[in-house]
Structure 1
Amino acid sequence: MAGRIGLNMNVKKCKHMRMNNRVDAPLKINNIEVEDVEEFIYLGAKVSKDGGGTEDIKNRLGKARGAFRNLRRIWTNGAIGRKTKLTLFKTLVRSVLLYGSEAWKVTKREEQKLDAFQFKCIRRILKIPWTELVSNDRIMQQTGINRISVEIRRRRWNWIGHIMRKETGNHARVAMEWAPEGRRKVGRPKTTWRRTAIKRETRMAGEAGPM
């Protein structure tokens, strides 16, 4: 069908991933079998069969650690001021970590890992030894940098607001509001992006008062 309008597919570069599938027959395009994968990279984000953000969070943490290590000469340079170092951290490390975070479903344990990574980086930038008892709250007051978990929620809700301002028939809005038909399996439902963003965080915001 795509070939009729001039769109030619490179089948060797194509991949497909099965989710909740009942058919295991190979997928072929022009008699060439398409590779069946458990996960793949799309626009820099790792997509996996679990449908969540766990694998992508691991991927982004690895990239952010690499970015932080590559700038170690900056962090140890006494001629560069603290304010400049923190600005570089937010621009060159934090942005790498938070890429695509609006679409993550984040568990409390993952929030702790993300926050721990940031505070570990900032302590090295500020040259705070592990023997010195300085709380994370004090570090946030000194630097003006929020927790990663707070920044993810802020970005997610900005994105949700952007989608909800679109017309009712817009594809992005339809996808966000869509609910599957039928009955789910017995037991506790899985944590999904919508349950994380809309239900849990709305409840948290209500308990904390007006935002």
Structure 2
Amino acid sequence: MVFERGKRTTDCDILIEGEKIEQVKEFVYLGSLFTNDNKHDIDMERKVNAGNKANATLLAIMNTKSVSRQARLAIHNGVLIPALMYGSESWVWQKKNESRINVV
């Protein structure tokens, strides 16, 4: 992958043992999405969707009266927050993205 600014594209011919390597515009590495324009919007959207999915999965447990508040907080901090925030250290935070994360 070549990280670029603007709309221009750079083609690279990289050969390994005589075989040309495919040049891609995006790929996932260690759970984070990298794009050739180096924007984090799509990765943040993926994390928001993962957080919403985790929320939906945990909803039945979180609404059960037999589960203590302490247990619900432990589930929130141990499951939901990591699913939502994994890889966020490399994000460039913008107001619109921050509000989406806070909604989840």
TM interval, shorter chain, is: 0.7 to 0.9
- Partner Cα distance (1:22, 1:91) in 2: 41
Structure 2 residue runs of 5 or longer lacking an equivalent are none
TM-score by length of 1: 0.44
Question: In terms of Rg, which structure is larger?
Answer: 1
Matched residue, 2:86: 99
Deviation of the 1:93 alpha carbon: 0.5
Provide runs of 4+ in structure 1 moved above 6 Å: none
Counting helix residues as a fraction of each chain, which structure ranks higher?
A: 1
Structure 1 residue runs of 5 or longer lacking an equivalent are 1-16, 118-211
65, 71, 85: which one aligns with 1:84: 71
Q: Percent of aligned pairs with the same residue?
A: 25
- Partner Cα distance (1:84, 1:24) in 2: 52
CA, structure 1 residues 74+47, in 2 after alignment: closer, same or farther (shift >3 Å)?
Answer: same
1:68 aligns with 2:52: no
1:37 aligns with 2:24: yes
Which amino acid is the alignment partner of residue 19 of structure 1? F
Deviation of the 1:23 alpha carbon: 4.4
Which amino acid is the alignment partner of residue 112 of structure 1? S
More RCO (CA 8 Å, sep 6+): 2
44, 51, 54: which one aligns with 1:57: 44
SS state of the match for residue 96, structure 2?
A: helix
CA, structure 1 residues 22+97, in 2 after alignment: closer, same or farther (shift >3 Å)?
Answer: closer
Which amino acid is the alignment partner of residue 31 of structure 1? G
Which amino acid is the alignment partner of residue 76 of structure 2? F
1:18 aligns with 2:20: no
Across the aligned residues of Structure 1 and Structure 2, the Cα RMSD in angstroms comes to: 1.9
- Partner Cα distance (2:9, 2:57) in 1: 46
